[in-house]
Structures are given as C-alpha cells and as structure tokens.
C-alpha cells in the first residue's frame, strides 16, 4: 500500500485517513451459481486535513457514494482502515461509534428526503443534540436557534415544517443539523445537485464561510466539475472503485495526467466563450465495465485510447508522479497523455 496522499502544503496530521479501503457486496445469481461480488471500492487510500476540501469526482457508479457511506460507517467495511484524528474507527460500535458520529457528519443530496416531514424544523435541528444527550431542553432550543441563524435562517423557522421551505432552505436546515454536533469533518454527498442553480451558489458560499470560521474539513462528492474546481483544495478522480488521480486543484486546473481524468474534465463547461469554442470534448466509447467483473490489469484499458498490451495484464498502482498521484503505467512519460484527437481511435 502506498503512503496516504496528503495535500502538499499541509504540515499538521490529517483529521481523517482512509487506508486501503475495500467494499465488496456479495451477490447470488441462483442456488447453484458461484458466489460473486460487486467491487464497489478496491483499495481506496486518501487523507483529509483540517479545514480542507477534498473533492471526489467520477461517473455514476464509480464508488463515490459508497465511499461516503463507508466513511460514515453506514456500511460494514470488507477490509481497510479508517482513522479519525489517528484513532481507528473502522470497527468501533456502541458508545465509541456514537462519539465518532459527533465528529463526522454527512449532508445528503436530497433535502426533500433527508428531513422527516412530520417534524418541525426546531425538532429536526435539536434531535441530534437530544440523541447525544447534549445540554437540557432549554439549552438545545437556544442552540437550535443559533444554528438556524448561522445558516441564514431566523428563529421563526423553528416552528415551520419541511414542506413549507424551499429546497435551498431545507438544505440549510440539513447543514444546521450537521453543525449541531460541532463536527471536524462533513461528508457532502452531492449537496447542491438537487437545488436550483440560483440556490446552489448560496449553499456553496455558506459551506465555504462555515469552513473558514469553524475549520471544518469537507469530503465533497460531486459530478459538477466546474464547481469542484471552484471550491476544492484537492481532487480525487475515481474510476470503477479506485482512485486513478489525486492532486491539488491548482495542479488539476493546469493539466491532468490520467487518460480518464482527461476525458472527464474535457466535459466540464468553461465560462470564457473563446476558450469554450476551442475546447475539445472527449466522449469515451463504450460503457463503464461491470463492477461485478472489472477488467483485469488496468480497469480503464477497455476504454483507454492509449492502452498497450501491458495494460490488459498488469494493474497499475497509484503512485507519486511529479506533483500528484496517478494510477497509470505511462503517467510521467514526456507528452503523456497526448492532446486528444477530435475524432479518432476510441474517442467518438
Ligand atoms: Fe490507459 Fe494503460 Fe494508463 Fe490504464 S495504464 S490509463 S489503459 S495507458
């Protein structure tokens, strides 16, 4: 296993470490069929520093949300280790698990589904404090009002119900609930993708403001690459359950080194119309292979325009190449990956 990739400019120990994480889901095709597994995550290693935003990007089904659920211990890990402030939380239960969940919170994609419609906003925000036996009833109420004000909602929202709120207001309530535990890390699982574009910026700005004042680290899962480039400190690109490239966002803005990252980021919209006109959009041919039977060797070789014989037989490791970590046999070779042709090879 390689050393955990850490931000290049961070000196203090990471808040969260994910080491060689594996999550397989067993499936049964029939009574006499051999057991098979879905390879949702295979050897994911990363770190998150205090006050850092680590973005995790990739196509649907690449394992981003499974990673979020595993970090939150909402899934049983097949193998691997999770460290929070250096303490192993991979298998803790009972009181230790509750204590861990105070430090580690999650905001889900859909604010319409993540809040119980029968509860008032006040009850929803006070509930985590009640579950963790924090303060008395009056103290929790005062804290809930304070949290609602922190996220830009007033005390008058305490008596309202989720159906009376807009999508953006509901996501603010979800953020207030997460903040109630004073977490060190918040897993943001596509937190704005269900919101109108006009509301997205408000919620993102709120998250950034809270990070600055409270030093919270975010693991920001998203498929919005423009947004990721705007808000993250580092980016991890995932393909079929593995990280294929991990780098500082400033380095990613300059260039990407993995052929899959190249295709993925070519799809990101750019604001400058002249840059947009000259931009080459790479559309990979073929579907993402099944995670039940991932390709041998490099998992990307069935779609990679630069694949050679070795790619089908030898699995590349995630290794340090210049200013980043890349999982490709040829990363770091001069001129690799070459600029994509407009219509050639495995590009369409
Ligand atoms: Fe492509 Fe081979 Fe690199 Fe995999 S190892 S990304 S198939 S060139």
Q: Is the pLDDT assigned to residue 342 strictly greater than 60?
A: no
Task: Please indicate whether residue 298, judged by its CB atom, sits closer than 6 Å to ligand 1.
Answer: yes
The total of structural domains in the chain comes to: 1
CA distance 109 to 114: 8
In a domain, 348, yes or no: no
Atom of ligand 1 nearest to the CA of 259: 6
Nearest CA to ligand 1 atom 6: 328
Share of the chain above pLDDT 70, in %: 90
Total Cβ atoms within 10 A of residue 163: 9
List, for residues 192-235, the tens digit of each pLDDT value: 887 777 778 888 888 898 899 889 999 999 988 888 988 999 99
For residue 116, what are the contacts with CB-CB under 8 A and spacing of at least 6? 124, 162
In a domain, 153, yes or no: no
pLDDT of 276: 64
pLDDT band at 110 (very low <50, low <70, confident <90, very high): confident
Mean pLDDT, rounded, of the chain? 88
Q: Ligand 1 mean position to 265 CA, how many Å?
A: 17
In a domain, 150, yes or no: no
In the beta sheet, which residues pair with residue 81? 19
List, for residues 16-36, the tens digit of each pLDDT value: 999 999 999 998 777 676 678
Give the CA count within 13 Å in the CB-facing half-sphere of 24. Answer: 16
Q: Ligand 1 mean position to 331 CA, how many Å?
A: 8
The mean per-residue pLDDT over the stretch 324-346 comes to 79
How far apart, in Å, do the first and last CA atoms of the chain sit? 36
In a domain, 184, yes or no: yes
Share of the chain above pLDDT 90, in %: 60
Q: Pairing state of beta strands 53-57 and 36-48?
A: unpaired
In a domain, 344, yes or no: no
In a domain, 9, yes or no: no
List, for residues 120-139, the tens digit of each pLDDT value: 999 999 999 998 888 899 99
Task: Please indicate whether residue 191, judged by its CB atom, sits closer than 6 Å to ligand 1.
Answer: no
Atom of ligand 1 nearest to the CA of 312: 7
Least confident of 81-85, 115-119, 195-199: 195-199
The mean per-residue pLDDT over the stretch 280-294 comes to 83
List, for residues 156-180, the tens digit of each pLDDT value: 999 999 999 988 899 899 999 999 9
Q: Is the pLDDT assigned to residue 1 strictly greater than 60?
A: no
In a domain, 123, yes or no: no
In a domain, 20, yes or no: yes
Q: Ligand 1 mean position to 311 CA, how many Å?
A: 6
Pick from 77, 78, 97: which is nearest to 87 by CA?
Answer: 97
pLDDT of 9: 52
CATH of the domain at 308: 3.40.50.300
What residue ranges in 16-107 does DSSP mark as E strands?
A: 16-27, 36-48, 53-57, 79-84, 87-88, 104-107
In the beta sheet, which residues pair with residue 27? 36
Q: What domain range is 55 assigned to? A: 14-118+161-326
pLDDT band at 269 (very low <50, low <70, confident <90, very high): low
């Amino acid at each position: 296993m390689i050393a955990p990739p850490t931000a290049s400019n961070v000196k203090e120990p990471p808040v969260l470490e994910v080491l060689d994480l594996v999550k397989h889901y067993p499936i049964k095709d029939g009574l006499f069929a051999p057991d098979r597994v879905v390879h949702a995550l295979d050897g994911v290693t990363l770190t998150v520093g205090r006050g850092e935003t680590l973005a995790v990007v990739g196509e649907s089904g690449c394992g981003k949300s499974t990673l979020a659920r595993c970090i939150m211990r909402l899934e049983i890990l097949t193998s691997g280790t999770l460290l929070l402030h250096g303490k192993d939380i991979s298998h803790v239960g009972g009181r230790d698990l509750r204590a861990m969940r105070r430090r580690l919170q999650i905001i889900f994609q859909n604010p319409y589904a993540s809040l119980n419609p029968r509860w008032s906003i006040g009850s929803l925000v006070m509930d985590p404090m009640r579950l963790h036996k924090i303060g008395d009833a009056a103290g929790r109420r005062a804290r809930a009002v304070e949290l609602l004000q922190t996220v830009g909602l007033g005390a008058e929202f305490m008596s309202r119900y989720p159906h009376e709120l807009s999508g953006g207001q509901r996501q603010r309530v979800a953020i207030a609930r997460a903040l109630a535990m004073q977490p060190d890390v918040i897993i943001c699982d596509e937190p704005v993708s269900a919101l109108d574009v006009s509301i997205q910026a408000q919620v993102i700005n709120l998250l950034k403001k809270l990070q600055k004042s409270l030093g919270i680290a975010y693991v920001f899962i998203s498929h919005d690459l423009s947004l990721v480039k705007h808000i993250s400190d580092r980016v991890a690109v995932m393909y079929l359950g593995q990280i294929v490239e991990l780098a500082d966002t400033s380095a990613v803005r300059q260039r990407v080194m993995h052929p899959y990252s190249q295709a993925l980021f070519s799809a990101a919209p750019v604001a400058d119309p002249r840059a947009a006109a000259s931009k080459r959009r790479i559309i990979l041919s073929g579907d993402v292979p099944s995670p039940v039977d991932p390709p041998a060797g490099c998992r990307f070789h069935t779609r990679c325009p630069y694949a050679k014989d070795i790619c089908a037989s030898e699995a590349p490791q995630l290794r340090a190449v210049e200013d980043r970590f890349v999982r490709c046999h040829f990363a770091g070779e001069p001129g690799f990956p070459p600029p994509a042709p407009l219509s050639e090879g495995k590009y369409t």
